[in-house]
Chains A and B, each alone.
Chain A
């Protein structure tokens, strides 16, 4: 059967992968076998080779022949590496170099399920726009606030919660220790309010020790640049 590779919405699988346990984990996209050079053809310009490190240990030359066969075809060439041995450091190092020379991108997975998910995702996202991972602005206030404050080292989500409840943006929260209510004594009304809070005020909050307070104050008040 001659199949026109890469034409439809299906992953085209090289018949040599027929017994690969990964196949049964490729879900949510259609699959078909076809005469293609790589192991998986995931799109017009995308392909993947599959390599299990266990197999690589036994047949180190295999991957080279496959890469050679691939030539310069395809724009995005994935080497899907299944990490199924514990001594992975050396083979990965060696493969990293090979891939750099041959313009391939390594993707490491740890289970057949993960491998299947990767393959299916590549197909499904073939025409997806990268908006998902681009910088966005239209997030809600809370998560921006959380992201901003947790970017300070040592500040965790609970602390943001504490700050937030304390500066009165939002309200009472059952998890917050009662001490928070007994001891909080300041009005940090907003983000700018936190910037104005004194170290003493911050220190009186539960879970805020010296180190944390110092980090917060450093991030807010110290200048971005020294003028060297």
Chain B
């Protein structure tokens, strides 16, 4: 099959790589088919005589590699995947069989350490995502272990993200060093060979530059203004930092956040809450920029409103201390006003509905038409459209008085509609000339950036009114969304009212009031819900064109969407939390109006929407049961109707009618193109990788005429991001090529197994220097490490420090250094969590029982501050010095001010309870490794079998593989302590299983009282039968 052929440059790369005697790193530009190259390489090595391990894959990649290999014809046994569910014996057998195996790094490390895998028989390692390899990562550890036992096997590393190779002075060199490689191949897009391969046949690309509408560009400018103001504020408050990279252009990218964090991390505990607020504001603003061009106007407006709401109050209902400064700017006002203007206009009730709305629309129309003409696009609307203002056919009854819906649509929607129209005409034109022999299908592929946009677009395409004029083609969809929005707004208002009520009354005495409101809401909710359900259902029915397989599922899942949120809004707890909203009077009064309107609507007995037929006579009077009933309806609609209509709507469609909307993803897009073989591709948002994929697709399909429509918003962050992304990749490649030119290639010395003879001598000598015992220690220096600890970097560092690592499943402690010394390692977040859960106390208890020297290791992170305190915490202690004298009540006893919740107090309490407990304060894992070595000097070695047995009496499965995540989750449940957790795990398979047990069974496992607590926790909120 032609699509499976490799392009010339891919063949060249493979020729460079396939030799099993060499090890190397390949850096390839994204979108050039890295997966295909790796799969082909793997296929070459697929035989039972070889053992090739695929390392560092993402879980979703494993599957696609397997698929790709399957398509290439290596099926039996193909790529096998080792997860932790696989038992040790099973793994050993699997390794013995040979072939291609993908292994999780953590498991591979343990298997290498325990010699479960025959190291000398491994043909080679294939390491993916080489850009993520650092001295601390498990992959470096794996390569080190591999090289210790096997000098002849190959290590082939791959990456397609050159932008990420930036850390440190010589980023490329450090990766090569960690992977013990000496050769690197760099293939950027501008590589000679790639150019030659791809530029012979070019796709027919139509570039469409769509300007933003007037309000959109206003918002855009305002957001940028806010961003630069926030940035300069950030610079001003942190003068000591080197902030030259801080500019608005960089702030467009997500990576900017990590730059900021990296700069601020060492001083993060010193920066005030203001700086933290500013940093998070930048994130919010950046999101706003992307939402502006991807969300519809109502969702955008609603998002802004939630920002406003969450900014003025904290979760506890108190007024927030540090509000985002950008909210007070004029530009912010512009953002909010324009965003609202895009949705609807508020006019005084009763006034004529002429005015700004109309002008606005006309303006936009004209702008678009003018532009389309300038671009020479076929624009049906511009020729046929009369210049008169578009008037609304009739006012919908559910729209409140005083609200004029504008519902501006995203300009790209129209563009998309035009393009689809053009494609259709083109297809008809080509009808005669094509035959079955012509490659490609008439399926139109629309690519966009996110699943969300995908859903929006397919909804638009399916409900599109082709006869409507420009700018209102998606009117129906927008009106549907407006209804949802109004409903939401009404909800917001009623919540706020409740909130205020509660604040006046003493807490929890207002049950009656709430019941009242529940009754009221019950009716209207039920109605609204039903409306929404029927509407959604209709939407489904209408979906004739856009019913791509991917979107079908999502369409289905949207139906019962409203029910949960509604039910949610009824209960009382949150209302108390909600508190009084401040500083958004306008928004609130508006919401109130809408709520009032909804109420009046209900009072008039107005139920049905004029265009939506009533489905069933469910309705008023079912307030108590309302929710259940509605849910049932939703469920039944969901299942039955959908299935029965499936064939009618989603069955066989002519390829001409199919429009597939998909988000960009990784290399699996290549497969998508190869399978669909589209002739027409619409790139709704720019994406460099996909352009290259199309290039490859075009080049490997001779005779297939591909036309690509490439859409981008002119003068927007989208355009800028696209261009900057291209530049960044190019710069990264140039930097790497330069570094390769001047790089000092490290010569790898032959690494010895840790704790082997030469090391031993050094160790004994140093023992003597320390003035210790005279006898020669012949055992290798070893540390027993708990399996769960392989998530952290410490085992790797210990191994690098020539200590033999013995993996084991320990019940007590994390690291056993000597027969007497047992260490429990806690990172700072861990420490906080286990203090508050009480787990640390139990762990210390266990350690004290079984070991003479229990040690708590408090490990800080390397580049973060070495300090427990933050500025915020310091303020908890009342300072008598300074400007604000503490206002202490005279009769308050003095020790009350010693905070009992601070981590310091808890540490004090811990040491008081366990006087034998020692604490190691380590500023980084490196420091820990040093300290461990120090502590091990001239002490006897620990005994693994004893360490495993300690404290594990009640655990029959001791020593087996552990699902750490599940165990932690289980431990966090009430009724389960670290004492009985092992027992529970031996009785129940998984957390889900525990959830399904009935009360008696839970009680049988946990005992009567804890069992009850646990059961009630698990099932709280369910309606008891």
- Stretch binding the partner chain, chosen from A12-20, A31-39, A55-63, A211-219: A211-219
Which residues of chain B are within 8 angstroms of A40 by Cβ–Cβ distance?
A: none
- Contacting pair B559 A185 (CB below 8 A): yes
Q: Is B299 an interface residue (CB 8 A)?
A: yes
Cβ contact within 8 Å between A196 and B992: yes
**Cα separation A104 to B916 with both chains bound (whole Å):** 8
- Given A173-B574, A185-B561, A165–B568 Cβ distance below 8 Å? yes
A2 on the B face (CB < 8 A)? no
A3 at the B interface (CB under 8 A): no
Instruction: Tell me, yes or no, whether B380 is within 8 Å of chain A by CB.
Output: no
B874 in contact (CB, < 8 A)? yes
Most chain B C-beta atoms within 10 Å of own C-beta, residue among A29, A147, A153? A147
Are A176 and B306 in contact, CB atoms less than 8 angstroms apart? yes
* B895 and A132 form a contact (CB under 8 A): no
Instruction: Please judge, given known A-B contacts A89-B927, A106-B918, A176-B306, whether A141 and B1020 are in contact too, CB under 8 Å.
Output: yes
Contact at A153–B965, with CB atoms within 8 Å?
Answer: yes
Q: Can you give 28 contacting A-B residue pairs, CB < 8 Å?
A: A46-B912, A89-B930, A93-B930, A96-B921, A100-B935, A106-B921, A107-B919, A110-B869, A122-B908, A130-B910, A134-B838, A137-B974, A137-B1010, A151-B833, A171-B574, A177-B303, A187-B631, A189-B1021, A192-B996, A215-B965, A219-B966, A219-B968, A223-B990, A224-B988, A225-B961, A225-B963, A226-B84, A226-B963
Closest to B858 in A: A108
Give the Cβ gap from A34 to chain B, nearest Cβ, in Å.
21
A110 and B571 within 8 A (CB)? no
How far in angstroms is the closest Cβ of chain B from A128?
Answer: 7
Determine if B894 is an interface residue (Cβ-Cβ < 8 Å): yes
B972 touching A124, Cβ below 8 Å: no
Task: Tell me whether A182 and B561 are in contact in the complex, defined as CB-CB below 8 angstroms, given that A105-B919, A125-B912, A176-B306 are known contacts.
Answer: yes
Q: A128-B909, A219-B965 are in contact. List 7 more A-B contacts (CB 8 A).
A: A105-B917, A128-B912, A132-B906, A135-B839, A169-B1021, A180-B565, A184-B561
Identify the closest chain B residue to A139 (Cβ): B974
Interface centre among B968, B974, B986 (most CB of A within 10 A): B974
Closest residue of B by beta carbon distance from A198:
B557
User: Contacts of B495 on A, CB cut-off 8 Å?
Assistant: 172, 174
Name the residue of chain B whose CB is nearest to the CB of A136.
Answer: B838
For the complex formed, measure the closest distance between the CB of A200 and the CB atoms of chain B, giving whole angstroms: 7
B303's contact among A78, A178, A184, A190, by CB below 8 Å, is which?
Answer: A178
- A contact residues vs B (CB 8 Å cutoff): 27-29, 45-46, 75-76, 78, 81, 83, 88-89, 92-94, 96-97, 99-100, 103-108, 110-111, 113-114, 117-118, 120-122, 124-126, 128, 130, 132-137, 139, 141, 144-145, 147-149, 151-153, 165-187, 189-193, 195-196, 200-201, 204, 210, 214-215, 218-228
Contact partners of B912 in chain A: CB under 8 A: 46, 76, 122, 125-126, 128, 130
Q: Tell me if B835 is interfacial: C-beta within 8 Å of chain A.
A: yes
CB contact list, B894-913 vs A, under 8 A: 894-898, 900, 904-913
Cβ of B904 and Cβ of A117 under 8 Å apart? yes
Q: Which residues of A contact B574 (CB under 8 A)?
A: 165, 170-173
Report how far A174 CA is from B831 CA in the complex, Å: 32
Q: In the complex, which residues of chain B have a beta carbon less than 8 angstroms from the beta carbon of A222?
A: 84-85, 963, 965-966, 990
Closest beta carbon of chain B to A89's beta carbon, Å: 5
In the bound complex, CA of A93 to CA of B934 (Å): 8
Give the CA-CA distance A218 to B104 in the complex, in Å. 15
- Chain B residues with CB under 8 Å of A132's CB are 900, 906, 909
B923 within 8 A of A: yes
Given contacts A113-B877, A170-B571, A185-B564, contact A219 B991 (CB under 8 A): yes
CA separation between A219 and B965, bound complex, in Å?
A: 5
| Interface status of B205 (Cβ within 8 A of chain A) | no
Given A105-B919, A220-B969, A225-B963, verify A118-B904 contact (CB < 8 Å). yes
Contacting residues, chain B, for A93 (C-beta < 8 A): 927, 930-931, 934
Q: Are A137 and B975 in contact (CB under 8 A)?
A: yes
B87 close to A (CB within 8 Å): yes
Q: Tell me whether B761 is interfacial, beta carbon within 8 Å.
A: no
Contact B85 A107 (CB under 8 A): no
Distance of A76 Cα from B914 Cα, bound (Å): 8
B200 touches A (CB below 8 Å): no
Contacts of A120 in B (CB 8 A): 898
Bound state CA distance, A185 and B561, in angstroms?
Answer: 4
In the complex, are the beta carbons of A124 and B568 less than 8 A apart? no
Chain B interface size band reads 35 or more
Give A174 to B60 CA distance when docked, in angstroms: 34
In the bound assembly, the distance between CA atoms of A174 and B299 in angstroms comes to 15
Bound-state Cα–Cα, A147 to B968, Å: 10
**Complexed CA–CA distance, A187 and B495 (Å):** 21
Tell me the minimal C-beta distance from B893 to chain A in angstroms: 9
Residues of B within 8 A of A148 (CB): 969, 972-973
B911's partner among A76, A168, A182, A200 (CB-CB below 8 A) is: A76
Closest 4 CB pairs of A and B: A135-B838, A228-B87, A228-B88, A148-B972
CB-defined contacts of A193 to chain B, threshold 8 Å: 1021-1022
CA distance A181 to B139 in the complex (A): 42
- Whether a CB of chain A sits under 8 angstroms from the CB of B920 is yes
Query: How many Å from the CB of A132 to the closest CB on chain B?
Result: 6
Report the Cα distance A149→B965, complex, angstroms: 10
- The 8 Å CB contact of B564, one of A46, A111, A186, is A186
Interface string of B481-492 (1 = CB under 8 A from A): 000110010011
Judging by beta carbons under 8 Å apart, are B966 and A220 in contact? yes
Scoring A76, A153, A166 by chain B CB atoms within 10 A of each residue's CB, the highest score goes to A76
Contact residues in A for B853 (Cβ distance below 8 Å): 100
Chain A contacts for B930, CB-based, 8 A: 89, 93
Among B41-49, B247-255, B1011-1019, which stretch is in contact with chain A? B1011-1019
Say whether B1025 faces chain A, with CB atoms less than 8 Å apart.
no
Question: From B1009, which residue of chain A is reached at the shortest CB distance?
Answer: A137
Min C-beta distance of A73 to chain B, whole Å: 13
| Chain A positions within 8 Å of B755 at CB level | none
What's the least CB distance linking B311 to chain A, in Å? 10
Question: A225 touching B962 by the CB < 8 A rule?
Answer: yes
Q: How far is the CA of A108 from the CA of B918 in the complex (A)?
A: 12
Of A151, A182, A224, which contacts B484 at CB under 8 A?
Answer: A182
Interface pair B553/A200, CB less than 8 Å apart: yes
**Please, which residues of chain B bring their CB within 8 A of the CB of A122?**
908, 912
Quote the shortest CB–CB distance from A199 to chain B (angstroms): 12
| Bound-state Cα–Cα, A145 to B972, Å | 8
Cβ of B866 under 8 Å from chain A: yes
B286 at the A interface (CB under 8 A) = no
Given contacts A89-B923, A111-B869, A226-B86, contact A118 B908 (CB under 8 A): yes
User: A148 vs B965: C-alpha distance in the bound complex, in angstroms?
Assistant: 11
Residue ID in chain B nearest A180 by CB atoms: B565
**Is residue B302 within 8 Å, beta carbon to beta carbon, of the partner chain?**
yes
Contact of B568 among A144, A166, A220 (CB under 8 A): A166
**Interface pair A225/B911, CB less than 8 Å apart:** no
Interface code B542-582, partner A: CB below 8 Å = 1, 0 otherwise?
00000000000110011111111101111111110110010
Cα(A216)–Cα(B84), bound, Å: 16
**Given known contacts A76-B911, A130-B909, A222-B85, A171 and B918 CB-to-CB distance under 8 angstroms:** no
A94–B930 Cα distance when bound, in Å, is: 10
Q: How far is the CA of A224 from the CA of B906 in the complex (A)?
A: 31
With A118-B904, A175-B310 in contact, do A224 and B966 touch (Cβ < 8 Å)?
yes
Partner of A181, one of B87, B488, B917, B974: B488
A93 vs B485: C-alpha distance when bound (angstroms):
61
For residue A128, which residue of chain B has the nearest CB? B909
Partner of A224, one of B836, B900, B990: B990
A172, B923: Cβ atoms closer than 8 Å: no
**Do residues A147 and B836 form an inter-chain contact, with CB atoms below 8 A?**
yes
Which of B561, B991, B1023 touches A183 (beta carbons < 8 Å)?
B561
Once A125-B905, A184-B565 are accepted as A-B contacts, the answer to whether A191 and B1020 lie under 8 Å apart by CB is yes
Q: Which residues from chain A contact B907 at a C-beta distance below 8 Å?
A: 107
Candidates A75, A99, A226; contact of B960 at CB < 8 Å: A226
The answer to whether B968 and A151 have CB atoms under 8 Å apart is yes
